[in-house]
Amino acid sequence: MPRHLPALLDQIHTEAQALFGQGRVADYIPALGEVPPRQFGMAVALCNGETHAVGDAHTPFSLQSITKLFTFVLALKLVGDELWQRVGREPSGAAFNSIVQLETENGIPRNPFINAGALVITDILTTRYAHLDYALLGALRRLADDPELHWNARIAKSERDTAHRNMAMAYFMKSHGNFHNPPELVLDNYCRQCATEMSCSQLAQATMFLANKGRDQSLRGEPDEQFLSADDTRRVNALLLTCGAYDAAGDFAYRIGLPVKTGVGGGIVAIVPGVGTVAVWAPELDAKGNSVLGAFALERLVQLTGWGHNTL
């Protein structure tokens, strides 16, 4: 364990600021396009209970595709291996909102973390939960130890108003029999899900179970909860490593070597099994939809700590 982790975070914070201006915010969702770009936060939560934060680590931001990780886990807990009849486990090699592969692969998305796969996951959960937004928030509030977590109605509406491509995917998958609920209902749930807001500190805490063999450690002194089995935790982390950064997953695995999930809100969460979790946020994105400063910060962290060496 690095003795001077706070100093390393300060160093990374300083270095990362040189990259401001190299990306752009996700302005294809109008409400996200209004986010001030020059922000950076980073938080680390360790399995031994330590937490460290730097910069804008306590500023809430829109999780966007990072929520796909949590809905995937909920669906895996709910239906188990039946899930793999409707979604694959392979990297896509295509943009996160691509519709092309659905045409050639009979409406079966490549993995749960591209938009098409996440829509299928939301469809599964919509069948189970009459109010999926509250079910998801309940799980996130428990994992983050924060009863005040919420989704941003304004961002959800902005996303829903521009969700034409996602709606096309939903109807296309329905034509192949891989969508069971009305696409409009699923899209409503999906957009509310993506508009969930967290800070880096909250996100690091909420994903601790993935670093801790599926056990959720409470900050309030409550007993640990086995939120996910150890085997399923290992499988989730494997998919995050291979599919968690859109069509830049291979580059992230090469540069960082950790299971990650990114989002177009500028957030990235990384898992260091047996050690802890790292959440970074900087809203300027590269051409693949991943945070420029966030990716740099994670790469520097593994260089300075060696945390990526024992994950593969």
Binding site feature residues for substrate: 65, 115, 159, 166, 190, 246, 264
Q: Is 79 a catalytic residue?
A: no
**CB-based contacts of 71: which residues, under 8 Å, 6+ apart?**
118, 121, 122, 125, 136, 193
User: Which of 44, 260, 264, 302 is an active site residue?
Assistant: 264
- Name the E strands within the chain: 41-46, 51-55, 61-62, 150-151, 196-198, 215-216, 225-226, 260-262, 267-272, 276-281
Q: Among this protein's residues, is 260 annotated catalytic?
A: no
Is-contact 267 294, C-beta < 8 A? Answer: yes
* Amino acid found at 302: V
Q: Are 74 and 135 in contact (CB under 8 A)?
A: yes
CA 41 to chain centre: 16
What SS3 state is found at 53?
strand
Q: Is 65 a catalytic residue?
A: yes
* Residues of each annotated binding site: 65, 115, 159, 166, 190, 246, 264
- Pick the catalytic residue from 246, 272, 292, 302: 246
Q: Are 311 and 259 in contact (CB under 8 A)?
A: yes
- Check if 98 is active-site: no
Q: What are phi and psi of 270, to 5 degrees?
A: -125, 145
Q: Which residue has the tokens 């946020």?
A: 281
- Of the residues 25, 54, 62, 65, which is catalytic? 65
Q: Is 171 a catalytic residue?
A: no
For the annotated catalytic residues, the residue numbers are 65, 68, 190, 246, 264
